[in-house]
Amino acid sequence: MHMPIIHNQVILLSCDHTLAIARMISELGIAIYLTMTNFWLWWWEVDSKQDEFARTFLTLLVPTLLLLWYQWTFPNSKKGKSANQLPPGPYGFPVLGYLPFLGSNLHEKFTEMGHRYGPIFSLRLGTKLHVVVNSMELAKVVARDQDKTLANRSPPLTAVISSYGVNNISWSNNNAHWRNMRKLLVSQLMSTANINTTQSQSLRTHEVRKMVADVYAKLGQQIDINEIGFNAAFDVLTRMLWSGSKPGEGNFTSYLVERFLEVEFKIIELQGARNISDFLPMLSWLDLQGRQREMKQQMVYVNQILDELIQGRIKANSCKVDGEGEEDQKDFLQILLELKEQKGAPTSYNFDQIKALLMNIVTAATVTISIMVEWAMAEILHNAAVKKKIVEELTEVVGTNNIVEESHLTKLSYLDAAIKETLRLHPPLPLLVHRCPDEACIVGGYTIPKGTVVYLNVWAIHRDPQNWSNPLEFKPERFLNGKWDYSGNNFKYLPFGSGRRMCPGVNLGEKMLMYTVASLLHSFEWSFPEGEELELSDEYGFLTKKRKPLMVIPSQKLSDASMYM
């Protein structure tokens, strides 16, 4: 009997209590509302219409920015995959995204982030979405399964300027013009057959011997290995492209090399430098860091040189009598000019396109070759046991009373392995050239929207312990089994990239690297300047070169001085 009463009392008490709490909450709510509106009253105490407009604008802007920030960052961090889900990734600031946290060595930063977010992750840089792929399994998806969809580029604004408005191979989208340029380059200049013609071989022999003679002239002095490698590659390339200097043109080429070295590195540096305009396109017209302006200045010089070159050739052609020089192998400039004259030909190039193409080939070839000659020499000189084996192999194959010939190169298997190992540890383009899908696609179960900037982090893949045992060790032996090549078919090893955008200059790049390094090691002993210690740190800037130039002192090794002439 008591229980229901007690129960009712409890219920009655409870009703009173609930009402009291509700009253308290509503009083508290009103108090908070009044305090807030009182607090905000100062915000709306305006002196003029202008002030009122400014405050209204700010009041709307702040929540809008917060909303945008929420939309940008939250889709990246959802747990579990769903349709249209972006790869996971870090939060960022409104507007700037993750830009302020990137640091300078992008390849290292992306590798470290891969450990946190997995083999594929996304990040907002400014208003653009970027995706980084860090594993060989997903590299296969990007460069093989989805190769066609992901074959566009997203050039930085500085590259748009240096490529004469995206008119070169490296930065063009996957379109008919790009296909024609690539086809022409490979069929006329870079195919195995072209690289192995007697003329092409003797051209390289001439330039590599000239390099040896130049080093010989500096015995006992410090020399910059990158510069030596650059000059040799530059001479080979300019002779293939426009036959180097011509009689009557004075020392046009040496003048060109001197200035070109400076300008070319500046151009590469500007292409690799972070430019706010690329991440916040609505601000690009301001050119806040002056990068576009600087690139335009560099291009004034490049343009002047290339114009001089092309007009000189047109003039020389017009003075030729019929049939003169027809039996000579044409250089690339001549082929391009003849195509230009063929009205209505399927492939024809205007002057800007010709200049863009020439500039692209010279830059793509010389910088990569010189960076790799420097890394290979640095690693070999740093590893005494490796150096000993290479020198023994050179002595056996070439002999001590002989100089290196191209015909020796195929027999230098340990040197070949050492160069492959150098390209594994120090790929000159650690993130390749970024790709861009022409429509949304799926990689690793995640959606990559159209227009995303996609990096393939070969630096991470080349150092992944799942792919390589003791990956940080310099061990050429891992390449001695004959299983490895530069074809880009084994996705553990991609120093020249893979798929339709892979490097078209592999044949020449490989030959020049082997020939240059073999000649430098066979003809000279190398020592370091007193007190100098070799270090192997790198510096990212699109192309990754040695942070500190390799400065070394050559001494004579071959007994007969005539072998240096």
What token pair was written down for 301?
């010089």
Judged by CB under 6 A, the number of residues near ligand HEM is 26
Q: Is 295 in the site for ligand HEM (CB under 6 A)?
A: no
Q: Hey, which residues between 342 and 361 contact ligand HEM (CB under 6 A)?
A: 360-361
Pattern 397-436, ligand HEM, x by CB under 6 A: -------------------------------xx--xx---
**Of the two residues 261 and 502, which places its CB atom closer to ligand HEM in the complex?**
502
CB 364 to ligand HEM: min, Å:
3
The one-character DSSP state at 152 is: B
Please select the residue that binds ligand HEM; options are 378, 508, 514, 521, rule is CB under 6 A. 508
Stretch that binds ligand HEM, among 66-74, 406-414, 494-502, 551-559 (CB under 6 A): 494-502
Q: Is 283 left (phi over 0), alpha (psi -120 to 50) or beta?
A: alpha
Q: Is 503 in the site for ligand HEM (CB under 6 A)?
A: yes
Contact 429, 543 (CB under 8 A): yes
Please select the residue that binds ligand HEM; options are 95, 276, 502, 536, rule is CB under 6 A. 502
How far apart are alpha carbons 477 and 484 in whole angstroms?
Answer: 12
Bridging pattern class, strands 128-133 and 453-456: parallel
3-state secondary structure of 323: coil
Q: Furthest-apart CA pair in the chain: how many Å?
A: 129
How far apart are alpha carbons 311 and 201 in whole angstroms?
Answer: 28
CB 151 to ligand HEM: min, Å:
8
**553 pairs with which residues across the strands?**
527
Instruction: From 292, 280, 288, select the one nearest 99 (Cα to Cα).
Output: 280
Annotated binding-site residue numbers:
503
CB 468 to ligand HEM: min, Å:
18
How far apart are alpha carbons 179 and 275 in whole angstroms?
Answer: 29
Please select the residue that binds ligand HEM; options are 509, 515, 519, 550, rule is CB under 6 A. 509
**Of the two residues 129 and 373, which places its CB atom closer to ligand HEM in the complex?**
373
Please select the residue that binds ligand HEM; options are 125, 208, 256, 372, rule is CB under 6 A. 372
Pattern 190-229, ligand HEM, x by CB under 6 A: x---------------------------------------
Alpha helix positions (H), 45-141: 49-73, 106-117, 136-140
- 300: burial class by Cβ within 10 Å (0-12, 13-18, 19+)? exposed
CB 371 to ligand HEM: min, Å:
8
CB 503 to ligand HEM: min, Å:
3
What token pair was written down for 435?
């790709």
How far apart are alpha carbons 463 and 493 in whole angstroms?
Answer: 10
How far apart are alpha carbons 208 and 554 in whole angstroms?
Answer: 16
Stretch that binds ligand HEM, among 121-129, 252-260, 368-376, 381-389 (CB under 6 A): 368-376
Pattern 222-261, ligand HEM, x by CB under 6 A: ----------------------------------------
Alpha-carbon separation of residue 542 from 106, 219, 284, 483, 523 (angstroms): 9, 34, 20, 29, 33
Q: Is 365 in the site for ligand HEM (CB under 6 A)?
A: yes
What token pair was written down for 420?
């492959």
Please select the residue that binds ligand HEM; options are 97, 114, 437, 505, rule is CB under 6 A. 505
Burial readout 436-452 (b: 16 or more C-beta within 10 A, e: otherwise): bbeeebebbebbbeeeb
**Of the two residues 76 and 170, which places its CB atom closer to ligand HEM in the complex?**
170
Distance, CA of 416 to chain centre: 24
**441 pairs with which residues across the strands?**
448
Please select the residue that binds ligand HEM; options are 229, 272, 497, 554, rule is CB under 6 A. 497
Annotated binding-site residue numbers for heme:
503
Please select the residue that binds ligand HEM; options are 180, 368, 516, 519, rule is CB under 6 A. 368
Q: Which residues are at the interface with ligand HEM (CB under 6 A)?
A: 169-170, 182, 190, 360-361, 364-365, 368-369, 372, 428-429, 432-433, 495-497, 501-505, 508-509, 513
